[in-house]
Amino acid sequence: MTTPETTSWYHAAYAWVSAVYLAYFASLAVRARNARRRLERAGRGARG
Amino acid sequence: MTTSPMTLPADARVAPDAAPKRIFGWLFAVAILAVMGAYVRAIYFTPIEAQQGAVQKIYYLHVPAWIACYLAYGLVAIGSVINLWLHDERADRLAASAAEVGILFNTVGLTVGPVWAKPIWGTWWTWDARLTSTLFLWFIFAAYLVLRGAIESPAMRARFSAVLAILGVLLIPFIHLSVYLFRTLHPMPIMLQPQALVNPPLSPEMETTFLVSSLAFLLLCVALVVSRYRLATLRAAADDAEGVGQ
């Protein structure tokens, strides 16, 4: 049996998984920044 | 202190001072380095499989992603049981955090599988028991996240979502056994079975890469659950500071 030419398939899979992880890291960072801003605004409001 | 199941204990609230300063810590950095190391080892230092060719290297992503997915859903179950038992908001936060990370790894497993299947099976997808049940698992935990977003009362949200999560996790043993119970196009496990300890099915280089990749993905899973938990704590502190739900 000859080995199929499948290099591009696995390159695509590795690239896709990396992209999914990066998108999730970015989503966590953005949501954390938004929560921190809410906390700061609430703190400023409480102080007057 | 007695607490009604429909209300949260006052000491479960998060004071603004107790909110975490950073959500990504050293564990996250170590996990990223481990995943990068696993990639380099799989791509450059692992031999190409004789029958399937280079596409077999998807194995080092696909199976570790499922292992990490099951770990995350296991944490959801633990958090849910503790929450139902003790009504502890921290356990609910752990369950919600692990569910989101579980969905991430579930998505990775579900999407790289077809990229491997197409050149080897000749089709992207087949409705066999293994593939269908893993898709069903994804829908259950997607529904879990939707349910959490739809209920305003924190105590009711924690209780209803915990029940759904525990029922969802019960599907995992069935998924593992589905390839033995039904005729499926999906192969039986080659490493996740007792016989692999006696008679290793992979070459030593491939086996090492699989173990390195599995450990890296497990580390990433734990690091992401920790980060997501810190985010949930930060959000709870912001809610309390704004007086939401009081």
Using DSSP's 3-state secondary structure scheme, residue B208 falls into helix
List the single residue in A16, A32, A38 with the smallest CB-CB distance to B242: A38
Q: Report the amino acid identity of residue B89.
A: E
What's the pLDDT at B119?
92
The answer, for A22 touching chain B at a CB cutoff of 8 Å, is no
- In this predicted structure, what is the pLDDT of residue B148? 97
- Please report the number of interchain residue pairs, chain A to chain B, with beta-carbon separation below 8 angstroms: 100
- To test the contact with chain B by mutation, choose from A2, A6, A27 the residue with the greatest count of B C-beta atoms within 10 A, namely A6
Task: Compute the nearest-CA separation of A26 from chain B (Å).
Answer: 11
Using CB atoms within 10 Å of the CB of residue B161, give its burial: 0 to 12 exposed, 13 to 18 middle, 19+ buried. Answer: buried
B238 phi/psi in degrees, rounded to 5 = -65, -40
- ipTM (interface predicted TM): 0.88
Pick the closest to residue B148 from B166, B134, B167, B162 (CA basis). Answer: B162
What is the three-class DSSP state of A16?
helix
**Higher pLDDT, residue A39 or B198:** A39
CB B70 within 8 A of CB B172: yes
- Cβ-nearest to B61 among A3, A7, A13: A13
Could you report the per-residue pLDDT of A8-41, keeping only the tens digit for each? Answer: 889 999 999 999 999 999 999 999 999 999 999 9
pLDDT tens, B140-191? Answer: 999 999 999 999 999 999 999 999 999 999 999 999 999 989 888 888 887 7
Least CA distance to B225: which residue of chain A? A28
Task: Please report the pLDDT score of residue B126 as a whole number.
Answer: 95
* Nearest residue, CB atoms, A6 vs list B53, B230, B237: B53
Mean pLDDT of chain B: 90
- The DSSP line for B23-47 is S--HHHHHHHHHHHHHHHHHHHSSP
pLDDT above 60 for B203: yes
Say whether A13 and B116 touch across the interface (CB within 8 A): yes
Segment B13-28 mean pLDDT:
80
pLDDT of residue B215: 98
pLDDT digits 0-9 by tens, B32-42: 999 999 999 99
B12 vs B137 pLDDT, higher one: B137
Mutate to test the interface with A, among B24, B32, B40, B55 (most CBs of A within 10 A): B55
pLDDT at residue A47 greater than cutoff 80: no
Contacts of B145 (CB under 8 A, 6+ apart): B96, B99, B100, B103
